[in-house]
Structure 1
Amino acid sequence: MGLSPDNFHGLTLAVSSSIFIGASFIMKKKGLIKAGTKGIRAGSGGYTYLYEPLWWVGMISMIVGEIANFAAYAFAPAILVTPLGALSIIVSAVLAHFVLEEKLHIFGVLGCALCVVGSISIVLHAPQEKPIHSVKQVWQHATQPGFIIYTFLVLIVVAVLIFRYVPRYGHTHMVVYVGICSLMGSLTVMSVKAVGIALKLTFSEMNQFKYFETWVFVLVVTVCCVFQLNYLNKALDTFNTAIIAPVYYVMFTIFTILASVILFKDWESQSGAQIVTELCGFITILSGTFLLHKTKDMGNDASKDKDPPLVESPNHVDTPSNTDSQR
């Protein structure tokens, strides 16, 4: 059974999106490295990268990828488009290996594979979204107690991470930076969906930008994107790109699906088998993430673990004290 024309267009856009997004990680990292030699690094709170053309090339590449991904949903169902986001991990890891010379250990590769398999399992069995016909309808969902509680919890956790854990563990634990990006990203996606619905209906001659709710969603998208970009730059400047990409993808997918389930209450239509399958996907993701954390430095530390050759100093003389200490 072949692909329909619409599905083929959606597939092409989704694959193109993954290529652009995966490559953007590498270009932005190269730009951050170059900018770090000229001023304060992004990981230390600097913004020199804003003057680096290569970073902007990576930023544009990411924007193009996100636009392509957004357009893909207009042609193909989410069950086809969303899992293809995992391709950006492969693109990023391969380019990081050859361009940045960031080695990914074999166990890191296995961790990536587990993360991708778990994420695909969750996405494929996620509940189907109910049709939305108005921005006001999204606003009604967003002002329900369940999603309000989720939003407040996200903001509280993000605030704790920023003010308590970033100063202490930001440079040693990438989950801090990536966690901020992922949590804020879940709110971004929900708002982007609302703005997308507004644009679609507006192009269909049903103007949605006359409602204040649409502009609230636009404001949320803007604020959340600023937070995500800031802390994603810090993560890229501090940690291995080949590790950041899959962990960010996994955490972002988890929180986005959770936010979508809470917002649209699609879980009510799920069967027990679907819920169990999703739980298995979560366990697989956690296993892959744990493996990535435990093995992230194995490839880089291999050479450090080797004993240095014993070279006798030409000025070395065996004195009684030296001989006794060696015994």
Structure 2
Amino acid sequence: MENTSEVLKEKTYSNLDFYVGLTLAISSSVFIGSSFIIKKIALIRLTRKGSLRAGAGGFGYLNDWMWWFGFLTMGVGEVANFGAYAFAPASLVTPLGALSVLVSAVLASKCLNETLNILGKLGCVLCIVGSTVMVIHAPKEEQTGTLDDLLNKVREPTFLNYILVVISITVIILVYIGPRYGNKYVSVYITLCSAIGSLTVMACKALGLALKDFFSGTLPFSTHLWIIFGLLVIIAVCLCIQMTYLNRVLDLFNTNVVTPIYYVFFTTMVITASAILFKEWQKMSSRDIVGAMSGFLVTVVAIFLINTFRENQQPTKQNFGSI
């Protein structure tokens, strides 16, 4: 009887964590989707005032209150996102970022006069459907319960090789590809932001586990203080890089391009990093694996619909075809 009671209690806590993570992930998408539009409005205002554009390396937006409001909105979204990753698997939380695509598209049509035709709107719906299918088939429980478990997995060669690949991609884009093609192709800096973002998510996951261990009394703060501090530094550096180059992309390209493509790239990188680090897919049934992959493919199709079928095309630098 005692064993049965403990199992039921553990299952209850697991279900509670799932719904808490789900709620935080949805809230995060609303805030982040809104922040794209707020910051875009701020960048447009600065351009009209004659300030050096962020796409050309300008930092005039740092003196604009509206940009900071957008930054604060994204910060709230990221905090909610951090909380979601602390309670639920990354492969469950990340696909819900598709909601930010819908929020951004709706607000862009209201505030920026960026319109989508019927096929583009169908793409928004398919994006939500595909993400929902992914969530249904994603793992619902954590495979890593403590910080020590996570640190052991981080030391494995496969994940260390992934970190090396991300660092290599970052250096190549910053030194060679970015200066030459970053203003022409939206995928250049989005690839950079997505690769760095995948490490940000893993660091947030580790920080969440560290804080949970600390508050539960299983993590000696004095012993593991350097771990928490190191994770905060990694998160701060990664977020600074992401924000800097995401601002450049938003300044150069249409919001209805940036948001969905960023979702596809970012989701792919996070799921890849999560699969390598947490090995969540190894304990999934073949049915769930097929379902999750199918949902992701539907989302990719939706992204291309949003990317291709639109109205009121912008000048060449904002062309949706420059991917």
- The TM-score normalised by the length of structure 1 is 0.80
Aligned-pair distance for 1:78?
7.0
Once the two structures are TM-superposed, the CA of residue 299 in structure 1 deviates from its matched residue by 3.3
Separation (CA, whole Å) in 2 of partners of 1:147 and 1:284: 28
Which of 223, 227, 239 matches 2:253?
A: 239
1:163 aligns with 2:180: no
Match of 2:291 in 1: 277
Alignment counterpart, residue 280 of structure 2, candidates 266, 282, 286 = 266
Q: Is the deviation greater in 209-218 or in 85-94?
A: 209-218
Whole-angstrom CA distance in 1 between matches of 2:288 and 2:127: 19
2:239 corresponding residue in structure 1: 225
Candidates 61, 65, 68, aligned match of 1:53: 65
Distance in structure 1 (CA, Å) of the matches to 2:183 and 2:279: 38
Q: Does 1:207 align with 2:186?
A: no
Note the C-alpha offset of 1:228.
0.6
- The root-mean-square deviation of aligned C-alpha atoms, in Å, is 2.8
Alignment of 1:17 with 2:28, yes or no, is yes
Secondary structure, counterpart of 2:313 in structure 1:
helix
Q: SS in structure 2 opposite 1:210? A: helix
Q: Aligned to 2:116, which of 76, 87, 104?
A: 104
From 118, 133, 150, the equivalent of 2:146 is: 133
Counterpart amino acid of residue 29 in structure 2: S
Q: Structure 1 residues 163 and 289, CA, compared in 2 at 3 Å: closer, same or farther?
A: farther
Which range moves more in the overlay, 29-38 or 73-82? 73-82
| Counterpart residue type for residue 266 of structure 1 | E
Kindly, what percent of the aligned residue pairs are identical?
A: 45
Runs of at least 5 residues in structure 1 that lack an aligned partner in the other structure: 303-327
Given that 1:209 and 1:215 are in contact with CA atoms closer than 8 Å, whether structure 2 keeps it comes out as no
Amino acid at match of 2:248: K
Gaps of 5+ in 2: 1-14, 316-323
**Conserved? CA contact 2:194–2:262, under 8 Å:** yes
Distance 1:21 1:265 in 2: 28
Residue in 2 that maps onto 1:286? 300
Residue 102 of structure 1: CA displacement? 1.4
Q: Identify the match of residue 194 of structure 1 among 202, 206, 227.
A: 206
Instruction: Please tell me the residue identity of whatever aligns with 1:243.
Output: V
- The alpha-carbon distance between structure 1 residues 77 and 257, as it changes in their structure 2 partners (threshold 3 A), is closer
How far apart in 2 are the matches of 1:154 and 1:234?
20
Deviation (angstroms), 1:150: 1.0
Q: Secondary structure at the match of 1:171?
A: coil
Equivalent residues of 2:91, 2:271 under 8 A apart: no
Where is the helix percentage greater, Structure 1 or Structure 2?
2
Pairing of 1:32-111 with structure 2 (within 5 A) = 32-36=43-47, 37-72=49-84, 83-111=95-123
Q: Measure how far apart 1:8 and its partner are.
A: 6.6
Q: CA deviation at 1:167?
A: 2.3
The one-letter code sitting in structure 2 at the alignment partner of 1:30 is: I
**Secondary structure at 1:130 match in 2:** coil
Contact 2:92–2:135 (Cα < 8 Å) also in 1: no
Larger gyration radius, structure 1 or structure 2: 1
* SS in structure 2 at match of 1:299: coil
The match for 1:178 among 190, 212, 230 is 190
Kept in 2, the 8 Å contact 1:119–1:253? The answer is: no
- Alignment check: 8 A CA contact 2:52 2:60 kept: yes
Deviations 1:107-137 (A, max 9, x none): 3223333333333333432344313222x33
Structure 2 vs 1, CA of residues 132 and 288 (structure 1 numbering), >3 Å: closer, same or farther? same
Kept after mapping to 2: 8 A contact 1:126/1:257: no
In the comparison of the two structures, how many residue pairs are matched? Answer: 297
2:41 alignment partner AA: K
CA spacing shift, 1:252–1:116, aligned 2, 3 Å: farther
Distance 2:81 2:314 in 1: 37
Distance in 2 (alpha carbons) for counterparts of 1:209 and 1:220: 20
Q: Which residue of 1 aligns with 2:321?
A: none
Cα separation, 2, equivalents of 1:8 and 1:66: 18
- Aligned partner of 1:133: which letter? T
Distance change in 2, residues 1:80/1:139 (3 Å): closer
Single out whichever of 8-17 and 185-194 deviates more from structure 2.
8-17
